[in-house]
Structure 1
Amino acid sequence: MDLNACRSEVRRKAWELPFLAEPRELAALRRLIGLRLRQWGIPHVIDAAAICVTELVSNVIRHVGELTPTTLTVSMNGTFLRLDVQDPDARALPTLLAAGPDAEGGRGMALVDAAADRWGVILRADSKVTWCELATGLTAPDGHVPTPGVTRAEALIGLYGSVRHPTDPPRTRLSVAMAEESAIAVITDLLLWLRAHGCDPDEALDRAQGNGEVAT
């Protein structure tokens, strides 16, 4: 088995959110982005994605108008996270400006340009889409970031599944739900092992949680 291969597929289905562009929506959009990207296993791009969404929507508010019907789409383009903001004005185009230090505006697209790996505008007959893409470090669109701990855990989960179900045919790919069940079984048996050997499972969990927080 290739220990570097991702055996658990992460489903990252594109999602779309229509809303009316206004300043008070920005905090809610950032929260939703954070929740979604944690679910997708890419929390390390939350800050950059939040900056991009904030500036793209602020651009709509500033140059098209408050309460403009707007749609945010979050998807994957290969291993890149893609953010699309659509509004109904094909004339007010975002522009990358070299704003001076005392300028009160003009920094929006400069922030997007700095946070994202690439961005652009798609013009349509009655609307435009301003998009940007961020590198995630994923090795595949349905894979995970190959940190050593995650890679070791993936190998252990695959091995443990074959031990628990020796009569089942070997699987090269697992759904996240299947892998989660195996991970829970691993944790349960390890806690039973600790208890059987006179160790404190609660203390072990606290120490593991502390290690996890340091790792993140």
Structure 2
Amino acid sequence: MSHDNCLPRTEWDVSFAAEPREVSALRRIMRLHLLHWGLPNVIETAQLCVSELVSNVIRHVGVGAPTTLAVSMNGTNLRLEVRDPAADELPTVVPVAAEAEWGRGIAIIDAVAESWGVCLTSSGKTTWCELATALTSPHGHVRDHRVQRADALLVSYSTEVARFTGAGDSLVAQATEGAVNLIADLLHWLEAHGLDPEAELDRALASFEAVSAARR
């Protein structure tokens, strides 16, 4: 089953005034979008990078500076861009004393990102960084053995109906364990495809209960 284009990830951006109160809102937005993109494994790192990039604008460009956060895919890397109007304030990695309360932003990004840089533009500059993901393709899902197992089972369910008969107690116990593992793998599969596992599990339980009630 090919998943090269199973989860389109369209570039998005949001404009805001660079103020401290905006940082927490941007972190929430990042979390929601990355869950929708099936990228829960990079949420914390992406939130950290956005916090540092925006804080850098606040500190060196000024509170209230018009700023834009843009998020896209570059191959299988997640690309974060923060655009501001100051072309003369270029971020650099500088030595920071252990007791310093600020100044580590770009050093942190340099440590956690695959790459980062600054581009001058006609309206200012763009500071960007790219984070590695576990994607199989820009619009595919994460490389995860649990998701692959669920994929294989979904293929088999689409081509044949499995029947289980004549099992002894030990075989039933093994099958039960397998069923639990299957449910867990399918929840990982849902998450990898940008869906809410808890919501879909609730929906499945509601369907199960409705069928069970109809049989009584």
TM-score tier by shorter-chain length is 0.7 to 0.9
The Cα offsets for residues 2-50 of structure 1, whole Å up to 9 and x where unpaired, read as x6x4376111111110111100000000011011111111111111101
Match of 1:17 among 4, 14, 17: 14
Contact 2:76/2:137 (<8 A) preserved:
yes
Give per-residue Cα distances to partners, 1:179-204, cap 9 Å, x unaligned.
Answer: x9xx99xx68x959x96xxxxxxxxx
What is the CA-CA distance between 1:162 and the residue it aligns to?
Answer: 4.3
Among residues 103, 114, 117, which one is paired with 2:114 in the alignment?
117
The question of whether the paired residues in 2 share the 8 Å contact of 1:88 and 1:127 is answered with yes
SS at match of 2:20: coil
Structure 1 vs Structure 2: percent identity of aligned residues? 50
Contact 1:90 1:123 survives alignment (8 Å): yes
Instruction: Call closer, same or farther: CA 1:102–1:76 in 2, change over 3 Å.
Output: same
Q: Unaligned 5+ residue runs, structure 1?
A: 165-175, 196-216
After superposition, give the CA deviation of every residue in 1:90-114 in whole Å (9 maximum; x if it has no partner): 1111111110102232211011111
Instruction: Provide the rounded CA distance (Å) in 2 between the counterparts of 1:65 and 1:40.
Output: 32
TM-score relative to the length of structure 1 = 0.72
141, 164, 168: which one aligns with 1:144: 141
Q: Which residue does 1:44 correspond to in 2?
A: 41
Structural mapping, 1:1-216, within 5 Å: 5-6=2-3, 9-163=6-160
Equivalents in 1 of 2:130, 2:8: separation in Å? 19
Please report the RMSD computed on the Cα atoms of aligned residues, expressed in angstroms. Answer: 2.8
**Count of residue pairs the alignment pairs up:** 174
SS for the counterpart of 1:121 is: strand
Moved >4 Å (runs of 4+): none
SS at match of 2:54: helix
> AA paired with 2:44?
D
Aligned equivalents of 2:154, 2:119: Cα separation in 1? 43
Q: Quick check: 2:69–2:83 contact (8 Å CA) kept in 1?
A: yes
1:128 match: secondary structure: strand
Query: Are 1:6 and 1:154, in contact at CA under 8 Å, matched by a contact in 2?
Result: no
Specify every segment of 5 or more residues in structure 2 that has no aligned partner in the other structure, as ranges.
162-192
Amino acid at match of 1:12: R
In the aligned structure 2, how far is the partner of 1:133 from the partner of 1:89? Answer: 22
Aligned amino acid, residue 155 of structure 1: A
- Kindly provide the amino acid, as one letter, of the partner of residue 32 in structure 1: I
8 Å CA contact 2:19, 2:58 repeated in 1: yes
SS of residue paired to 2:55: helix
Name the SS of the counterpart of 2:23 in structure 1. Answer: helix
Query: Partners of 1:139 and 1:7 in 2: how far apart?
Result: 7
Q: Is the 8 A contact 2:83 2:127 kept in 1?
A: yes
